[in-house]
Amino acid sequence: MDAPDSHHDSWKDWFLRHGPRLLACARQWTRSVADAEDVVQEAFVRFWRRQRSLGGDPTALLLLSIRRSAVDLGRSSRRRAAREIVADGGWTEAEPIFQPQEKNDDRRVALEAALARLSADQREVIVLKIWGERTFEEIGQLLGLSPHTVASRYRYALQALRRELSSVACNE
């Protein structure tokens, strides 16, 4: 993603171009779309006010900040969420990860289900690689892993998704 240029880009223009990608990444670290929107907003405001003049890849900095905010939010809301689940009798309604489409909604549902069945480590790498458009090296830096470990997780995740989605296609 291109860096915002304070002379040519307003924060609104830059966010309109890159916000959906950041939100897709945040969504896999949070419990709901609303939580993902909150952590993206918090990270983006912090970046735009204080960190955009630092140089380098703004998206990498934003992704790190989003991930940290999501972890903090998860820690602070874990107890509350457990109480809510018990109060609801154990039932939770999953929010979709992707925007629903009128056509091919079955494909979206199948993809979300397949992503949900991946391990958290594999899902995180898939989302950062595909929707975050990060390299294995950048993902490794973000997660504190070697690029080889990231590449392995990505490869195994793709294999699992192929198996899962090919069995869905065969059943149609």
Fold of the domain built from segment(s) 96-172: Arc Repressor Mutant, subunit A (1.10.10)
Tens of pLDDT, residue by residue over 117-134, are 889 899 889 988 988 889
Query: 96-113 pLDDT, tens per residue?
Result: 555 555 555 677 778 888
Query: Identity (one letter) of the amino acid at 53?
Result: S
1-94: which CATH architecture?
Orthogonal Bundle (1.10)
- The structure's pTM equals 0.59
3-state secondary structure the chain: CCCCCCCCCCHHHHHHHHHHHHHHHHHCCCCCHHHHHHHHHHHHHHHHHHHHHHCCCHHHHHHHHHHHHHHHHHHHHHHHHHHHHHHCCCCCCCCCCCCCCCCCHHHHHHHHHHHHHCCHHHHHHHHHHHCCCCCHHHHHHHHCCCHHHHHHHHHHHHHHHHHHHHHHHHHC
- Reported confidence tier of residue 37, pLDDT bands at 50, 70, 90: very high
Average pLDDT over residues 81-102: 55
List the single range of 14-18, 74-78, 88-92 with lowest mean pLDDT. 88-92
Assess whether pLDDT exceeds 70 at residue 85: no
Kindly tell me if the per-residue pLDDT of 144 is higher than 70. yes
Chain region(s) in the chain for CATH 1.10.10.10: 96-172
